[in-house]
Amino acid sequence: MLKPEAKYFGLLVLLLLFSSPAFVIAEPYWVKPGVYIEYIAQRYDPYFDLVRGADPSQIRTSEIFIEVNGTLFRIFANNNTTVRFDILDEKDGYLHVQATITMENVTISSIFLNGTKYPIFWDRGKAISERLIPSRDSGFLDCVWLEVKLEELRIAGTYLIRLRDGAVFDVEGTYYGHTFLWVGPNSLPKANETFSTSGNLNATVWGVGVSNESVMTYYGKFGPPLLSVLLTMEDFKLSQRINDKRNYTLLEVSFGGPSGGGIYDSSTGIAIYPTAMGAAPYADFYAIGLKWAVFQDQLSGYCMMAEKDRSWRSGLVLYDTNADFGVVETVKYTKPRTVVSYIFYTTLAFLGIVIVWTAVGMRR
């Protein structure tokens, strides 16, 4: 469910003081009220030619799942997707953060019993089309599919980040893990520690690596060196409850190894490619109501695949920030390239970053 604005911030902070997650990600020096961080996954038509076996309509910049008032919705964008985080204020050691996801050329879908009154979280006045399609799925012939087409959809919510360790909470005080927006270069997460958690879905740290490389983003160049954090998750699925006896599986994901991860600047700690393997199993998204998210910037993917340019990676790409990095501290690492880092980049090369959501077994 999308979360409302916090009404009793002070009382909530007192409640959260009793919660103490295990590992520490101290806040970087540049994290303060007024700072924003913006990422992008943009459409780039030449990328389509690199994806075999998929229609252009199946090649997306993002796909997310949210639950609103008990109804699960699948949302995907065929044009640009931007993800922006604004640090609104800080009180008693907690940052109040607003996350905004803006998706263009959007399709929303769900399934439920015919006659169900479903929640509306989009602007119907801006809808291109909205229709109910009778289900042809065996065992669900009494159901209908909702399909909504929009030029643009904006999903926003606020949440809290505890400064001393990067712990993320929603405005009701539920703990979801650690922010993906930064890591502490001098206090990195450790293998097997829980990075994020939501319901039965837990993402644990598979490993942390160091690479003596640099990368380009739309904001600028970072590194060397770079930090990489690999995550692993168990197989899971998301299902729509039809009635007391039936559920319809909208998403089923199976992993054969590391299933997520990001690339960070070693000096500032900022996430520069937070979803370098596509998936975004992160506390910052869970805290505003997302159940699952995948992002793919097609221009950076094209640079990697067609132009063989290793200075670009994939997933969400850092696009803009007003953070004052100033004269950054140089952090020295004893190993210029770790085994984890090697596996991370080899995995990216093997995948080719062709994300047509083939890892996601969609029933429709």
With 90 as the cut, is the pLDDT of residue 156 above it?
Answer: yes
Q: How confident is the model at residue 351 (pLDDT cuts 50, 70, 90)?
A: very low
What gap in Å lies between CA 64 and CA 2, rounded to an integer? 13
pLDDT in tens, 318-346: 999 999 987 544 444 444 444 444 444 44
Residue 299 has pLDDT above 80, yes or no: yes
Instruction: Determine the pLDDT at residue 257.
Output: 67
CB neighbour list of residue 311: distance below 8 Å, 6 or more residues apart = 214, 215, 216, 221, 303
Among 8-22, 94-108, 296-310, name the one with the lowest average pLDDT.
Answer: 8-22
**Residue that the structure tokens 């229609």 belong to:** 55
Q: Which residues contact 349 (CB under 8 A, 6 or more apart)?
A: none
pLDDT of 161 above 60: yes
What's the pLDDT tens digit per position in 53-83?
778 888 899 999 999 998 999 999 999 999 9
Residue whose C-alpha is closest to residue 85's, from 122, 141, 36: 36
Q: For residue 359, is pLDDT > 70? A: no
Task: Give the pLDDT confidence of 275-295 residue by residue, as tens digits.
Answer: 877 788 899 999 999 999 999
Rounded to the nearest 10 degrees, how much is the dihedral formed by the CA atoms of 55, 40, 313, 204? -100
- Confidence class for position 316, pLDDT limits 50, 70, 90: very high
pTM: 0.84
Q: What is the mean pLDDT of residues 219-230?
A: 90
- Residue range 128-144: mean pLDDT, rounded: 95
- What is the distance between the alpha carbons of residues 262 and 317, in angstroms, rounded to a whole number? 10
- Give the containing element (helix H, strand E) for 339: helix 339-351
pLDDT cut 70: percent of the chain above it: 81
Beta strands in the chain (DSSP E): 36-41, 62-68, 71-77, 81-91, 94-113, 127-134, 143-162, 167-170, 175-178, 194-198, 201-211, 215-216, 221-222, 226-233, 236-241, 247-253, 260-265, 271-273, 290-295, 317-321
Identify the band that residue 349 occupies on the pLDDT scale cut at 50, 70 and 90. Answer: very low
| Contacts of 308 by beta carbon, 8 Å cutoff, 6+ apart | none
Predicted local distance difference test score (pLDDT) of residue 342 = 43
For the segment 32-57, what is each residue's pLDDT rounded down to a tens digit? 999 999 999 999 999 988 887 778 88
Whole-angstrom distance, CA of residue 67 vs CA of residue 157: 13
The pLDDT score that the predictor gives to residue 27 is 67
Residues 89-106: what's their mean pLDDT?
A: 96
Is residue 204 over pLDDT 90? no
**Amino acid in position 333:** Y
